Amino acid sequence: MNERERPEVEPAPFSWDALAAELAATREEAGRRGEDDPGTWDAVAQELAARVAERPVEEVHVPPVPAEPAVEPPQDPTPADVPVGEPPPEEEAAEELLRLLAPVELLGGLEALLFVMDDPVDEQTLAGALRCPTEQVAEGLAELAAGYDERRSGLTLRRVGEGWRLYTREEHAPVVERYLVDGQKSRLTQAALETLAVIAYRQPVTRARVSAIRGVGVDGVMRTLITRGLVHEVGTDPDSGGGLYETTPLFLERLGLADLAELPELAPFLPETATMLDEHPDS
């Protein structure tokens, strides 16, 4: 095998430890021969320099240091940060105040609110009073109306304009009419007479004012007087927003009066000051 056919042998990697050992051995050998002089060491240094140039330096593997990911400071969510379709945090907090009601609680609450309402009421108002979602109120109203119709109740729930209201069923109209006609012939109760007197002398007056004077609620009595045609609503109080009520011409006709000026004076019917002080010493 000639020199061209010999495979190339890669020189061994350079090592400083191996170089130091070789230098020590060379110096020891030169000392035994008596060749320990500067010229000899210059020749050895040149030879080692040539050998270092021919051999690759021994590589030391240094593991790479992983780069720490950049951490961005937390930011408050803004409308741009909120994904599309999700409400902002403020709306989520507001929705948490609403809760789904049990069917019995929902239907009972709706029926109670509709019973005390004199005018049609919308779904948003009912939902605010019940503190439940508007969608659940809409479902409850539909279920309540269907239940009245299914059992042929004397009441029916109908949508009027933008609100809902309870009405008596048309097939029971003869019964209601007979009661109202017969009621015109019956005497007024003591509570109705007292309420009618307050309205006659203080008109126009609100229901709240009449209740305050009498010391009891007058809603039921007021409905009776309105049904009898003795009292009617004439406007709205600018301060409280409540309805103002006055007596009707039928009231004067029943009492045989030409106008309200003919009403008797209240002074003879009022208790004396001494009597009031005896009955109410703290007043």
Q: How confident is the model at residue 277 (pLDDT cuts 50, 70, 90)?
A: very low
Q: What pLDDT score was predicted for residue 132? A: 93
SS (H, E, C) the chain: CCCCCCCCCCCCCECHHHHHHHHHHHHHHHHHHCCCCHHHHHHHHHHHHHHHHHCCECCCCCCCCCCCCCCCCCCCCCCCCCCCCCCCHHHHHHHHCCCCCCHHHHHHHHHHHHHHCCCCECHHHHHHHHCCCHHHHHHHHHHHHHHHHHCCCCEEEEEECCEEEEEECHHHHHHHHHHHHHHHHCCCCHHHHHHHHHHHHHCCEEHHHHHHHHCCCCHHHHHHHHHHCCEEEEEECCCCCCEEEEECHHHHHHHCCCCHHHCCCCHHHCCCHHHHHHHCCCC
Residue 13 has pLDDT above 50, yes or no: yes
Residue 260: CB partners within 8 Å, gap ≥ 6? 200, 203, 247, 252
In angstroms, the CA 256 to CA 231 distance is 16
Greater confidence, 195 or 77?
195
Residue 265 has pLDDT above 70, yes or no: yes
Full-model pTM:
0.40
Residue 30 has pLDDT above 90, yes or no: no
Q: What pLDDT score was predicted for residue 90? A: 54
Q: Mean pLDDT, to the nearest integer, of 86-110?
A: 72
In angstroms, the CA 247 to CA 87 distance is 54
**Per-residue model confidence as pLDDT tens digits over 168-207:** 898 988 888 787 666 666 688 899 999 999 999 999 999 9
Cα 116–Cα 181–Cα 177 angle in degrees, nearest 5: 60
